[in-house]
Amino acid sequence: MNIFVTLEHATHVSWVIWSALFVGLLLVLTGVVVRSRLAAAGGGIIPDEGLSLRNLCELVVEFLSGLAEQTMGENWRRYFPLMGTIFLFILLSNLIGLIPGIGGATSNANTTWGWAVISFVTFQYVGIKEHGWSYINHYLGPSMFEMKMGGRTVHMRVLAPIYAPIELIGHLARIFTLAIRLLANMFADHTVVGVWLMLVPVVVPAIFMGLGVLVAVLQAYVFTLLSMIYIGLALEEAH
């Protein structure tokens, strides 16, 4: 039994919420530590020597910012904070799930579906914000020809009755793919590590925990990358 389940029995608050709050606390503490280091003399100019929390955070932020710029274009800075939060939350949740006695929130459907819905709502909001009502053209298929109506050029999307239901299903399917991929991989990963810890508590579990770290990083990367790609697609003009 992990500590979050114990807290659930004591407080009648779901262990998933406790796990998510724990990860949130880690993120806040990390931000406070890094900010304090940057506020110190020479902070932000002179890098720390060797491997430090600040250097690690800078490495992660630099990697994510480059990825965001490539996938979301020139407006990437507006949406980068949310993408960074998604990546770090999922990554930390994945990693703490590998620690015996501590449960990772991403092995529970409530967390994965929650982040998938947030991602979906975000890129729909971005599309509407950037394009207004013309964002609906993303669902209506390609423009076959143009016509002049009332001094305006109107794109005629004659295949809209066919494309609209297909595109709608495709967009909604993004929620399922984001949520189920993350849930299935992390639940399986945490379960395998837990089983080996019970069967052979020495050496062998370490191998699977090493693979688990790789899976944890990869799944956080994939979820964030797909979210960025969806935002990038929403930012584009419909053709």
Domain limits, the chain: 3-235
Which residue type occupies 126? Answer: V
Beta carbons of 34 and 54 less than 8 angstroms apart: yes
Beta carbons of 16 and 115 less than 8 angstroms apart: no
The band of 228, judged by pLDDT with boundaries at 50, 70 and 90, is very high
Whole-prediction pTM: 0.84
Quote the pLDDT of residue 83.
93
CA-CA distances (angstroms) from residue 17 to 87, 111, 116, 195, 219?
Answer: 18, 9, 17, 24, 21
Mean pLDDT of 33-62: 73
137 pLDDT more than 60: yes
SS (H, E, C) 144-157: CEEEEECCEEEEEC
**DSSP assignments along 66-86, one per residue:** HHHHHHHGGGHHHHHHHHHHH
Per-residue pLDDT reduced to its tens digit, 162-210: 878 888 898 899 999 999 999 998 888 777 766 766 676 666 666 767 7
Mean pLDDT of 145-150: 60
44 pLDDT more than 70: no
Which residues are paired to 148 by β-bridges?
Answer: 153
